[in-house]
Structure 1
Amino acid sequence: MQTELKLRIASGVVLAAIALGATWAGGFAFQLLSVAIGLLVYYEWSTITKLPERDFQGNALGWLSQVVIAGLVLLGYMHVSLPALAVCVAAAALWVVIRGTSWWLPGGIVYAGLTGISLAAIRGADDLGLMAMLFVFAVVWATDIFAYFTGRTLGGPKLAPAISPGKTWSGAIGGTICGVLAGVAVFMAHFSLEDLRIPAIAFVLSVASQIGDLFESYVKRRFGVKDSSRLIPGHGGVMDRVDGLIFACIAALALVLGQTLVAGGREVVFGSVLLGP
């Protein structure tokens, strides 16, 4: 157990250094990290759901779509890559039309594709993108950490016992409150809080991150898998580490695109829309 703990800590330090270094650098470095995470998520999704054995042609389409999405995200640089979003949705819809027998393939295409797209869109290449990414990190990490400790301390009714028996309503509520406070604290370190818009966004992202955690638990339980993979020593797989972050980033992307469409904008610079006035 001592060796396992040391391995987990060492892996965590390395992962944190890579993530924070790429976040600080922004631009192409973070875009590259984003698409790498997206590709690894698709690998783990296809492995968990046994797509190579069940649907070889569909899995080949899935990989092709992820590679195209990754290329478009890298070319998109500062702005949300709308062509990448189009490829993501079109590839999933195409296989539903052709086969229509199972949602695991189109679900994987969308889940992994939106991972890379939303992460890259949040950070972008400007200072406000850095602020937006740190804001999302703060909300997700605080939610995850304090949901665990609040749930362990207070206990009470289970949140979703059929999916994740260890999660409680007290943990979910405590995690959400702390996630909102952490997001607001990061925002107020740079700007003044003039209305309830930022706490509302933090609330949505916190709830989304917990839904993402439950979603991955459902997928693993459905296929009888404990960890998404063994890619990260002591931690399991990439999906195990970023499940909440994925849903929070996708929720943030949806908020930004929604605001942009309402405003009639054509270009999306993520940070300025999410956290700007």
Structure 2
Amino acid sequence: MSPELKRRIVSGLVLAVVVLAATWYGGFSFRALAAVIAILIYYEWSTITKLGERDFSANAFGWVAILLVAYNIVFGERDLAIPLLGGAAITAILLVLWRKGSWWLPGGIVYAGLSGISLAAIRADDQAGFVATLFIFAVVWATDIFAYFVGRALQGPKLAPRISPGKTWSGAIGGTVSAAIASSAVALVVFSRLSLWTVAISILLSVTSQIGDLFESFIKRRFGVKDSSHLIPGHGGVMDRVDGLVFACFAAFLLTLVYSASTGHLGISVAAFLFGF
């Protein structure tokens, strides 16, 4: 076994233990993890897009915004999360328009901030949030693993050759089917029942997870980098590891907000939306 593979295995195991432990304990532990992920994503985003080199003061504002969002995730009021992020994003947009700056600034604030907010909102502080988080993990991990193996086995037409030449339609479909099966197993084990709604949501989240993967690949190709950073030995950066996860969380969180607003069921949890409570 090569030293590089050993580093990859060890760091992967450490990451899995940390994430699963924080997910199990929930509360402060998971909110802190979500906040750290948001901060590290902004660090990698601003590094890849060279925001600090383009405009130091604008990037400094981005850092202040993300740190405030991260603080609110851990210690603040949950209802203030989206207004705070929205205010920061609008201010960043005004800065870009005023100073003819980079649109990667508001993009990074929204991407990083919403990553932390959606993760924390899905886990929440109850048992249902724990199950919802495991459900999304099952979707994303099954999508990643089986898209890779099915794609390698079946080959076929490329999914997005200009963005990620290794991905195929066969892999994408295989990953989505596997995600539906894995996440359905989670729902059946916990609730002893399964609805078509939950299966449909799992398919949608698998698709958005793959879109997230392609989105990060687009950014890296746009700026000519191989990895988002070198923070994780053998794995690259945080964005490399959570690209699909954060997009799936975006979808689950935002769809819950839309459903809540459109039906009048204000304050409905992501878990209730996913499982049709």
Fold-level match, TM-score > 0.5?
Answer: yes
Mapped contact 2:145–2:175 kept (Cα < 8 A)? yes
1:2 maps to 2
Match of 1:115 in 2: 115
What does residue 132 of structure 2 align with? 132
C-alpha deviation, 1:97, in angstroms: 2.3
The answer (yes or no) to whether the contact 2:129–2:271 under 8 Å persists in 1 is yes
Show CA shifts across 1:116-155 (max 9, x none): 0000011111000000000000000000000000100000
CA contact (8 A) 1:68 1:84 kept: no
Letter in 1 for 2:107: G
Out of 73, 81, 85, the residue aligned to residue 84 of structure 1 is: 81
- Aligned partner of 1:39 in structure 2 is 39
Taking the TM superposition and a 5 Å limit, the aligned residue runs for 1:10-29 are 10-29=10-29
Asked if the contact 1:136–1:248 (Cα under 8 Å) also holds between the matched residues in 2, the reply is yes
Separation in 2, partners of 1:124, 1:25: 11
Q: Distance in 1 between matches of 2:51 and 2:96?
A: 14
| Aligned-pair CA distance for 1:85 | 1.2
Identity %: 59
Query: Does the Cα contact within 8 Å between 2:69 and 2:113 map onto a contact in 1?
Result: yes
- Structure-2 separation of matches of 1:200 and 1:13: 31
CA distance in 2, matches of 1:268, 1:31: 19
Aligned 8 A contact 1:139 1:205 in 2:
yes
Deviation, 1:76, is: 4.8
- Whether contact under 8 Å (2:187, 2:194) holds in the other structure is no
Query: For 2:234 and 2:84, how far apart are their aligned partners in 1?
Result: 35
Q: Which amino acid in structure 1 is aligned with residue 119 of structure 2?
A: L
TM-score normalized by structure 1? 0.95
Contact in 2 for aligned 1:118/1:250 (Cα 8 Å): yes
**Contact kept? 2:139, 2:206, Cα under 8 Å:** yes
The 1-side partners of 2:251 and 2:4 are apart by 34
What SS class does the counterpart of residue 189 from structure 1 fall into? helix
Residue 57 of structure 1 and its aligned partner are, at CA, apart by 1.6
Q: 1:200 to 1:13 in 2, by over 3 A?
A: same
Q: Which residue of structure 2 lines up, in the alignment, with residue 96 of structure 1?
A: 93
CA–CA distance in structure 1, aligned partners of residues 185 and 245 of structure 2:
19
What amino acid does structure 2 have at the position aligned with 1:237? G
What aligned pairs does 1:199-218 form with structure 2 within 5 A after superposition? 199-218=199-218
Would you say the 8 A contact 2:151–2:167 is kept in 1? Answer: yes
Offset of residue 268 of structure 1:
4.3
Q: Is the 8 A contact 1:65 1:91 kept in 2?
A: yes
| Cα offsets for 1:2-50 (capped at 9, x unmatched) | 1100010000010000000000001110000000001000000000000
Partner of 1:154: 154
Larger deviation, residues 68-77 vs 110-119: 68-77
- Give the secondary structure class of the aligned counterpart of 2:159: strand
Deviation string 1:138-184 (CA, Å, 9 cap, x unpaired) is: 00000000000010000011000000000000000100110111111
Deviates more, 1:90-99 or 1:35-44: 90-99
> In the aligned structure 2, how far is the partner of 1:193 from the partner of 1:255?
22
Q: 1-side partners of 2:233 and 2:190: how far apart?
A: 36
Tell me the CA shift for residue 276 of structure 1. Answer: 4.0
What residue identity is the alignment partner of 1:250?
Answer: F
Unaligned runs of 5+ in 1: none
8 Å contact 2:197–2:276 — kept in the other structure?
A: no
AA paired with 2:153? T
